[in-house]
Structure 1
Amino acid sequence: MGRMVALLRAVNVGGRKLPMAELRELCGELGWREVATYIQSGNVVFSADGKPDALEAALEDAIREGYGYDAPVVVRAAAQWRRCAPANPFPDAARETPNYLLMLVSKRPPADGAVATIQAKAAAGEQVKRAGDAIWIYFPNGSGTSKLTPALIDKAIGSPATSRNYRTVAKLEEMLSA
């Protein structure tokens, strides 16, 4: 049984409601143990047997069946997750403006050229870099008005991706160790 992180995309936005208490219960029904969530955006730390892709599929199926919508899920083993924050290519932003630094993780490794494709669409000082299987984007003015849309990012990466700000990345790492 290994410790893992599951990140859900697009929950509790646009009418897709999934209270975290219900998400914890749903994960428990899948046989996951030591389930904890962080904030309302679909961050789960848990212990389970199985490969990440099988766990992703199981939770996606359960959400589809129980809530009637598709919510892509990305699962990372604890060892993978613990490499994320130290690999962050924007250490100053992580320290000074952690909410403006986003880490994107995707179901499959990013396609060759993904960073260049995303960076070509960036504006207002936005910077894009890859570290391991994650793509990091620094939004010096915040991401709210950025032209880097989820559809553009998914297309560049080649599979669904979800992002978390640096503060959340660090908090999930802390939760894995609790």
Structure 2
Amino acid sequence: MNRRVALLRGINVGGHNRIPMADLRELCSEIGWGEVATYIQSGNIVFASDREARTLEDELQAAIRDRFGHDVHTLVRTGREWTSLLSSNPFPEASEAEANRVMLGLSKAPLDPRAAEALQARATADERAEQRNGALWLHFPNGSARSKLTPVALDRLAGSPVTTRNWRTALKLMEMLKGAGS
């Protein structure tokens, strides 16, 4: 079976959309996912399945709605896709120096081709936005707390819901895909 990454958007943030990870792992196993492992509390799942990504996304979204009552956007990428995404990081030096300030953003639908350009136009304080390999890459050298590149702006300019993960989390998921730390 192929190893995959699933990213859930907006769970366990500020007390909203609470889903315990043990319950999430159990739910994933119940819908037929194999070798299920989670990383931290923000909806990062590594698992095995040969089914199509869209099917897996729809099944998990429906199962979460049924079990927990939350409408949560879910994205699934293959291990090969994840490797390709990480290799396209346009900010390798910043990622090395400040892994929590470089973000990988993935959208539910294909990105608007001008998303990064529109985000860069809104950026302040040396923030950078680039689009590579179907993903958004953001660098927040001063942190994201006061940024104008908010989740609402990301969704609007990307053309669909976007979920982000920092470089540290992206690397950890890669390790888990390869079998380390799962």
TM-score range relative to shorter protein: over 0.9
Shift, 1:110, TM fit: 0.8
Corresponding position of 1:146 = 147
Deviations 1:51-79 (A, max 9, x none): 11111111111111111121100100110
Deviations 1:99-134 (A, max 9, x none): 000000112221111111111111111100111011
Shift, 1:45, TM fit: 0.2
- Distance (Å, rounded) in 2 between the aligned partners of 1:121 and 1:20: 35
Corresponding position of 1:35 = 36
Corresponding position of 1:135 = 136
Corresponding position of 1:52 = 53
Q: Which amino acid in 1 is paired with 2:41? A: Q
5+ residue gaps in structure 2?
none
Aligned CA-pair RMSD: 0.9
- Distance (Å, rounded) in 2 between the aligned partners of 1:59 and 1:102: 24
SS of corresponding position for 1:18: coil
Matches within 5 A, 1:1-178: 1-14=1-14, 15-178=16-179
- Distance (Å, rounded) in 2 between the aligned partners of 1:10 and 1:137: 18
Q: Which amino acid in 2 is paired with 1:110? A: L
- Distance (Å, rounded) in 1 between the aligned partners of 2:55 and 2:150: 28
Shift, 1:49, TM fit: 2.3
SS of corresponding position for 1:88: coil
Shift, 1:158, TM fit: 1.1
SS of corresponding position for 1:83: helix
SS of corresponding position for 2:19: coil
The TM-score with structure 1 as length reference comes to 0.97
Instruction: Give the aligned length.
Output: 178
- Distance (Å, rounded) in 2 between the aligned partners of 1:18 and 1:107: 21
SS of corresponding position for 2:116: helix
Shift, 1:83, TM fit: 1.1
- Distance (Å, rounded) in 1 between the aligned partners of 2:52 and 2:84: 18
- Distance (Å, rounded) in 2 between the aligned partners of 1:113 and 1:85: 21
- Distance (Å, rounded) in 2 between the aligned partners of 1:158 and 1:144: 23
Shift, 1:174, TM fit: 0.7
